[in-house]
Amino acid sequence: MVDPEDFFPDILPEVPGCPDGQVEQAVRDAAIRFCRDTMVWREEIDAFASEPGKLRYELGFDFFLMVSDAEIVALTDVSIKGESVQFKWDRRRLDLGADPKGESVSVFGALQPTRTAQRLPALLHSDYKEAIVAYALYRLLNQTRTEWAHPDMAQRQRELYLNYVREERISQGRGHSTAPTHVRPRRFV
């Protein structure tokens, strides 16, 4: 985990006179937005013992408190003994597509920081720092009636952010591979 202040060296020179608290909240908002747009922060949220033949499980309020300073964006995978199974989740109940036969069920999800999170996931700083900085700058530079306001630069930062999101979605679609996603055409004989 990293502090929102770790992003400050890339932001403060662009917004002279902006209060640190405002910059910190912009970084937090940028992290939330990026996690929601790309679902890059994924964790095992819970594991529980199943009952043979039971396909529906009620997930209590404590399920949503499994990860501190984070909120669940979506469930990304449910597995039984390491094998992914189909599932349906309506934010209260988890319906499994296969009989768990009393085995342990692992639930994985995409997360986002809360608006009051004191620390952010380290992967946002190490792998996606430019995207977080771009969105934070977009939010700050777009504030009217401030000495650091610069609407044209704000739009440029927004475009940069959207490009980072697009690149991450493409990367996830490829399984984080750099190999091309097309197949070479073959002659039909």
Token pair belonging to 120? 């952010």
DSSP state of 38: H
Query: Residue 85's domain spans which residues?
Result: 42-113
**Do 49 and 106 belong to one domain?**
yes
- Give the β-pairing of 87-89 and 104-113: unpaired
Token pair belonging to 28? 């937090």
**Do 26 and 61 belong to one domain?**
no
CA separation for the pair 188, 118 (Å, rounded): 60
Cα-flanking dihedrals φ and ψ of residue 41, to 5°? Answer: -90, 105
Tens of each residue's pLDDT in the chain, 189 residues:
899 999 999 999 999 999 999 999 999 999 999 999 999 999 888 888 888 889 998 876 555 555 678 888 888 899 988 889 999 988 778 899 888 888 898 888 899 999 999 999 999 999 999 999 999 999 999 999 999 999 999 999 999 999 999 999 998 888 765 555 555 667 766
Would you state the pLDDT for residue 165?
A: 96
The edge-to-edge listing of strands for the beta sheet with 87-89 is 56-58, 93-96, 87-89
**Do 132 and 105 belong to one domain?**
no
CA separation for the pair 85, 47 (Å, rounded): 14
Count of structural domains, the chain = 2
Token pair belonging to 15? 């917004």
**Do 14 and 34 belong to one domain?**
yes
**Do 98 and 56 belong to one domain?**
yes
Question: What amino acid is encoded at 109 in this protein?
Answer: G
Chain centre distance of CA 141: 24
Token pair belonging to 37? 């747009």
- Asked if residue 127 is part of any domain, the answer here is yes
**Phi and psi based region of residue 91 (left: phi greater than 0; alpha: psi -120 to 50; beta: remaining):** left
Token pair belonging to 82? 């390491």
CA separation for the pair 134, 73 (Å, rounded): 22
Predicted model pTM: 0.83
Would you state the pLDDT for residue 154?
A: 96
Q: Which of 117, 144, 154, 148 is nearest to 29 (CA)?
A: 117
